[in-house]
């Protein structure tokens, strides 16, 4: 007992700039600022991530941190970055293109540090609350811009998109809507009707915005699957049937009252027909073209791929002598698996899938934080069927921040890590 008192007294006597608890709290504040800025700005995210790393550094126990890096949940993100970096050695692309292709994987190096930090910090929920508040403000701004485009924060803004683009905005709103499902049902089970109704109204408002303002085909596909997984894991069959009926009613109402939703949904068939019949480079047509060519590129170098930054050069060679959709050139095949496979082959795909699997297993427990982490990983996996969202800036940071904070918090709850970092790292 006396040892604990002496340690506490010694710590409290330290000046603030030397006190690990002060640095830890500062790091938590910067993590909140990252979450607040993520829906709005890329430059602020970079600034706050750098500040977060600086403030976390004095709190690290080098021995324990090194041990934590041996866990698959931390080792696999590092391995994927290392593969991207080593892939520059066998690529035929210019060195500028090689290094540019490595940069999207660099953010994965922050993930192990987040996991380690939030095994000790008890403020992980601050980050999720900040992201929800920021997205709610963005949603309100989206409605304003839908009626008054002059209030958009960028020139030439899309309808109802104040900043960035509709894909990023829809990913944020979809994640918030599904992540609110767990606390809503937990409150209902506890008999707290008013808070549950308030969160339900907020979740519904995100969905309404996506149905009437910023309709995303990716979100239309991923949200039902994510909600179905939640229902199967956490709800009784009677509740599942009720929700399915309510969702069906909402879908019918949204379809009949939202011209934008009808237009986007109808574009699936129209875009495919224009591509197949007239070789017009529509959104769906170009994806099919990119995927078909990417599979050929993978077959040419199936084990370690063509190297980092090689994708654009391969598409340029394949476009020679073609017109229309077949002549389109891109450095990203709009599929995470193919993006990895073209550059780093089967080795890269195995690491990518192992990373997703280990992070899914990290959130196999119950609770709010586990459900948030599960939704983050599921959304990234599903949306990466149509985009390279693990490597994209916005969705990639959503993944790193969400998995890092939720994963560390879940490990702390599961294995009883202390906020001072004196316990041995967990070994999931």
Query: Which ranges of 87-192 would DSSP assign to H, the alpha helix?
Result: 95-106, 110-118, 124-147, 166-179, 181-189
Question: CB-side exposure of 376: number of CA atoms within 13 Å?
Answer: 28
| Residue 131: partners with Cβ closer than 8 Å, 6 or more residues away | 35, 36, 38, 39, 172, 176, 401
Q: What is the pLDDT of residue 11?
A: 46
Q: What is the pLDDT of residue 158?
A: 77
pLDDT at 267 over 70: no
pLDDT at 418 over 50: no
> Which of 78-92, 257-271, 320-334 has the highest average model confidence (pLDDT)?
78-92
Which one is predicted more confidently, 326 or 191? 191
Q: What is the mean pLDDT of the chain?
A: 85
Q: What is the pLDDT of residue 263?
A: 67
Q: What is the pLDDT of residue 280?
A: 65
pTM, to two decimals: 0.87
Contact 97, 332 (CB under 8 A): no
Apex CA 88: angle with CA 83 and CA 91, to 5°? 115
Which one is predicted more confidently, 257 or 1? 257
pLDDT at 426 over 80: no
Pair of tokens at residue 44: 């602020």
What is the C-alpha separation between 66 and 77, in angstroms, rounded?
15
Share of the chain above pLDDT 90, in %: 54
Q: What is the pLDDT of residue 275?
A: 65
For residue 218, count other CB atoms closer than 10 A to its CB: 21
For residue 81, count other CB atoms closer than 10 A to its CB: 19
Taking residues 244-268, what's their average pLDDT? 67
Contact 56, 146 (CB under 8 A): no
Pair of tokens at residue 48: 């706050």
- Burial string for 1-28 (b: 16+ CB within 10 Å, else e) reads eeeeeeeeeeeeeeeeeebbebbbebbb
pLDDT per residue over 344-377, tens digit each? 999 999 999 999 999 999 998 888 999 999 999 9
> Which of 29-33, 180-184, 279-283 has the highest average model confidence (pLDDT)?
29-33
Find, among 293, 298, 299, 267, the residue nearest to 280 by Cα: 267
Taking residues 292-318, what's their average pLDDT? 92
Q: What is the pLDDT of residue 164?
A: 82
pLDDT at 78 over 90: yes
pLDDT at 403 over 90: yes
Q: What is the pLDDT of residue 273?
A: 66
Q: What are the residue ranges spanned by the domains of the chain?
A: 24-269+331-415
pLDDT at 12 over 70: no
pLDDT per residue over 128-138, tens digit each? 999 999 999 99
pLDDT at 289 over 60: yes
Find, among 295, 297, 298, 273, the residue nearest to 284 by Cα: 273
Residues in the chain: 428
- The sign of the torsion formed by the CA atoms of 216, 222, 228, 233 equals negative
What is the C-alpha separation between 133 and 180, in angstroms, rounded?
12
pLDDT per residue over 160-182, tens digit each? 888 888 888 989 999 999 999 88
pLDDT per residue over 230-240, tens digit each? 777 777 777 67
Q: What is the pLDDT of residue 417?
A: 52
Q: What is the pLDDT of residue 284?
A: 74
What is the C-alpha separation between 195 and 184, in angstroms, rounded?
8
Range of lowest pLDDT (14-23, 70-79, 142-151, 314-323) = 14-23
pLDDT at 147 over 90: no
pLDDT per residue over 33-71, tens digit each? 999 999 999 999 999 999 999 999 999 889 999 999 999
Which one is predicted more confidently, 280 or 181? 181
| Residue 342: partners with Cβ closer than 8 Å, 6 or more residues away | 294, 297, 298, 305, 306, 310, 311, 314, 333
Taking residues 373-393, what's their average pLDDT? 92
Find, among 298, 310, 297, the residue nearest to 90 by Cα: 310
Own/partner pairs, 289-294, CB within 8 angstroms, 24+ separation: 289/325, 289/326, 289/328, 290/315, 290/328, 290/330, 290/333, 290/334, 290/335, 290/338, 291/333, 291/334, 291/335, 291/338, 293/318, 293/333, 294/333, 294/335, 294/338, 294/341, 294/342
Q: Please give the torsion angle defined by the CA atoms of residues 407, 409, 415 and 418, in that order, rounded to the nearest 10 degrees.
A: 140
Q: Is 256 exposed, middle or buried (0-12, 13-18, 19+ CB in 10 A)?
A: exposed
Q: Where residue 150 falls among pLDDT bands split at 50, 70, 90?
A: confident
Q: What is the pLDDT of residue 98?
A: 93
Taking residues 404-427, what's their average pLDDT? 69
Q: Where residue 252 falls among pLDDT bands split at 50, 70, 90?
A: confident
For residue 272, count other CB atoms closer than 10 A to its CB: 15
């Amino acid at each position: 007992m006396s040892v604990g008192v002496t340690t506490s007294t010694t710590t409290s006597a330290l000046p603030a700039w030397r006190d690990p608890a002060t640095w830890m709290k500062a790091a938590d504040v910067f993590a909140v600022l990252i979450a607040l800025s993520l829906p709005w700005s890329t430059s602020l995210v970079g600034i706050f991530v750098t500040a977060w790393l600086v403030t976390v550094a004095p709190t690290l126990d080098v021995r324990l941190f090194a041990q934590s890096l041996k866990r698959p949940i931390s080792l696999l993100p590092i391995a994927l970055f290392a593969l991207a970096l080593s892939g520059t050695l066998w690529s035929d692309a210019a060195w500028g293109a090689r290094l540019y292709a490595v940069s999207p994987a660099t953010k994965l190096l922050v993930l192990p540090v987040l996991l380690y930090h939030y095994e000790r910090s008890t403020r992980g929920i601050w980050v999720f609350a900040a992201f929800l508040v920021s997205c709610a403000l963005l949603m309100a701004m989206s409605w304003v811009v839908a009626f008054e485009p002059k209030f958009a924060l960028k020139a030439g803004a899309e309808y109802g998109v104040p900043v960035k683009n509709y894909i990023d905005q829809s990913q944020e709103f979809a994640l918030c809507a599904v992540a609110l499902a767990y606390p809503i049902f937990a409150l209902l089970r506890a008999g707290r009707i008013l808070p549950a109704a308030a969160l339900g109204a907020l979740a519904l408002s995100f969905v309404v915005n996506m149905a009437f303002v910023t309709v995303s085909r990716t979100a239309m596909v991923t949200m039902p699957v994510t909600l179905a997984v939640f229902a199967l894991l956490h709800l009784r069959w009677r509740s599942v049937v009720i929700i399915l009926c309510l969702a069906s009613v909402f879908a019918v109402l949204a379809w009949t009252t939202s011209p934008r939703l009808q237009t986007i949904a109808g574009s699936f068939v129209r875009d495919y027909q224009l591509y197949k019949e007239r070789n017009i480079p529509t959104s769906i047509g170009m994806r099919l073209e990119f995927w078909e060519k990417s599979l050929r590129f993978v077959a040419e170098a199936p084990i370690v791929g063509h190297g980092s930054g090689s994708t654009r050069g391969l598409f340029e060679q394949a476009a020679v002598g073609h017109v229309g959709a077949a002549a389109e050139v891109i450095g990203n095949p709009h599929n995470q698996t193919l993006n990895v496979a073209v550059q780093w082959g089967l080795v890269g795909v195995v690491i990518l899938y192992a990373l997703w699997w280990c992070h899914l297993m990290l959130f196999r427990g119950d609770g709010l934080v586990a459900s948030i982490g599960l939704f983050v990983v599921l959304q990234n996996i599903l949306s990466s069927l149509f985009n390279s969202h693990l490597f994209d800036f916005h969705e990639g940071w959503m993944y790193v921040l969400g998995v890092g904070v939720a994963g560390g918090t879940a490990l702390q709850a599961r294995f009883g890590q202390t906020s001072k970092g004196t316990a041995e790292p967990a070994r999931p």
